[in-house]
Amino acid sequence: MANKSYPRKTIKVVLRPAGMVLTVCVTLLAVFSMGALVALNWAHTGIQAETERLRQEAAAIEFANEELEEKTARLDSIQSIQEIARDELGLVDPRTVAIEPQS
C-alpha cells in the first residue's frame, strides 16, 4: 500500500470580544469561587484547631485514667486503704491518741 498524502487545511481562529454579560458572569463566578475557597480554608483551620484541642483533652483524660487505675490497684488491702487515708487525707485511727508537745 502506498502512503497517500492528504492536503492540509489551515484553520483560522478568530477571537471575538466577549459580551458584557459573559464578562460579568465570569467575574462573579471567579469572585464567588475565591470566597468559597476562603470560607473552606477558614472552616478547615477551625476544625484542625478543635481536633488538636480534643487530642490534648483526650491525652489529659488518659493520663488521669492511668493514675486512677494505679490508685484502684493499690486498694487491694486494708493496710493500703489505711495508708492512703493517713498520707493523702490526713485521717487517723479513732483509737489513736495524738500527743502534741508544748512549746
In three-state secondary structure terms, 17 is: coil
How far apart CA 73 and CA 76 sit, in angstroms, is: 6
Q: pLDDT value at position 1?
A: 55
In three-state secondary structure terms, 94 is: coil
93 Cβ contact partners less than 8 Å away, ≥ 6 residues apart: 82
- What are the extents of the domains in the chain? 23-87
Q: pLDDT value at position 97?
A: 75
Q: pLDDT value at position 84?
A: 79
Query: Average pLDDT by consecutive 10-residue portion of the chain (103 residues)?
Result: 75 84 93 97 97 97 94 80 82 77 77
Q: pLDDT value at position 24?
A: 93
